[in-house]
Amino acid sequence: MVFNFQAIHLLTVSFQEFGLQSFNMGTCLSKRQHVEEDGEHPVEFAGGNVSLVTTKDIWDQKMSEASKEGKIVIANFSATWCGPCRMIAPFFSELSEKYPSLMFLLVDVDELVEFSTSWDIKATPTFFFLKDGQQVDKLVGANKPELQKKVAAAVDSVVPSQK
């Protein structure tokens, strides 16, 4: 295989201009700097029926609540500086309104660094699908069709009386 190192260098320089060290389609792998200075408008990450998790205690409370109610949890590990996270946030919010039988959570990886690290987050956004606190599925990246498919599968797996 022959690599065009000049093209790779130009691509690397372009990504470094945006504060990214590396990339993967639909994911962010490194924190972007100075978001406030670039004139971007804030995105509401926790709209709809999405609950913002700001502490480990809130996480534990939500997991307990979901277990008691027999709900599957969809946890979005995200970052406010991440372009794909900002792109998928409104869709995640829409899904939370469409599927109230599921619990939708948002964890900002920069606010809960140690906790996010314990989940081995390699890129954002990362979506975990949890039942009784245990992972049953996972999606890495801002792939709307795949997220929709996995959410629909989660709804289908819920006992009919809980839908």
Which residues are catalytically annotated?
A: 82, 85
**How far is the CA of 32 from the CAs of 21, 97, 125, in angstroms?**
9, 30, 14
Residues forming beta bridges with residue 104, ordered by sequence position: 50, 74
DSSP SS3 for 79? coil
3-state SS, residue 115: helix
Sequence-separated (6 or more) residues with CB below 8 Å from residue 154: 72, 74, 99, 102, 129, 136, 137
- Closest-CA residue to 142 (of 129, 156, 155, 123): 123
